[in-house]
Amino acid sequence: MKPNAKDFHGKWRIHEMEDLDEEYLSMQVKPYILIQSNNLGEFQFGLVTGQIDGKIIDYPLGKRFEFTWEGSDECDPAS
pLDDT digits (tens, 9 = 90+) for 14-54: 999 999 999 999 999 999 999 999 999 999 999 999 999 99
Note whether 53 and 34 are within 8 A (CB). no
**Average of per-residue pLDDT across 63-76:** 95
Residue 71: CB atoms within 10 A of its CB come to: 16
Q: Residue 17 gets which letter from DSSP?
A: B
pLDDT single digits (tens) 2-21: 566 678 999 999 999 999 99
**Residue 3: what pLDDT?**
60
**Residue 7: what pLDDT?**
86
In the chain, where do the E strands start and end?
Answer: 10-13, 32-35, 40-45, 48-59, 62-73, 76-78
Any idea where the domains of the chain sit in the sequence?
A: 5-78
**Residue 74: what pLDDT?**
92
**Residue 53: what pLDDT?**
98
